[in-house]
Amino acid sequence: MNTGTKTRRMSLAAIFMALAIVVCYLGSIWELVSISVVTFSGIITAAAVIECGIGYACLMYAGAAILGALLVPDKGVAILYATFFGYYPIVKSLVERLRARVLEIIIKVAIFLAVFTVYIFLLRAILFPELQTAASVLLYAGATVYLLIYDYALTALIGLYRRRVSKYFNRDRR
């Protein structure tokens, strides 16, 4: 990879990082649809994976998560981005290289549930010590269903992105 390509990828990753922070910021000031807006931020990470590669997408995600924690007024939105929606497209890209659909789903759900377990543990320890086990089971079930729907929707959005948007980034490569 030549220097121009590296510079181009790093610049795109920085633009995607800024865009992810802006989306999270909008989610924090537009409380009615904050979860939807943060959910959408995953497509930005997916775009970084497509246009820049996994390495630059990881840098983009890390930068957006750190700066989001510092700049986004609603820390809940920043935490949702950092713990779920920001990294998931990177994991999705890596896991889907296996080309075994059932195994892919099992791995994605297992990773998600591991992160979700830490998230629930911290919620209990910091904010909601009275959170009961029955409520946790319902949270796990609901979160798993949400993940599967999100994964399906993200796949569709990635396909749409590849067909409609990615070609504009690739003009100079022809």
pLDDT at 85 over 70: yes
Domain that holds residue 31: 3-173
Using 50, 70 and 90 to split pLDDT, how confident is the model at 174? Answer: very low
Give the per-residue pLDDT at 135: 65
Number of structural domains found in the chain: 1
pLDDT digits (tens, 9 = 90+) for 141-173: 999 999 999 999 999 999 999 999 988 887 555
Give the per-residue pLDDT at 3: 66
Q: For the residues of the chain, what is the DSSP string, one character each?
A: --HHHHHHHHHHHHHHHHHHHHHHHHHHH-GGGHHHHHHHHHHHHHHHHHHH-HHHHHHHHHHHHHHHHHH-S-HHHHHHIIIIITTHHHHHHHHGGG--HHHHHHHHHHHHHHHHHHHHHHIIIII-TT--HHHHHHHHHHHHHHHHHHHHHHHHHHHHHHHHTHHHHSGGG-
CATH code for position 90 = 1.10.1760
pLDDT digits (tens, 9 = 90+) for 24-64: 998 888 777 777 888 888 999 999 999 999 999 999 999 99
Q: Rounded to an integer, what distance in angstroms lies between the CA atom of residue 28 and that of residue 34? A: 6
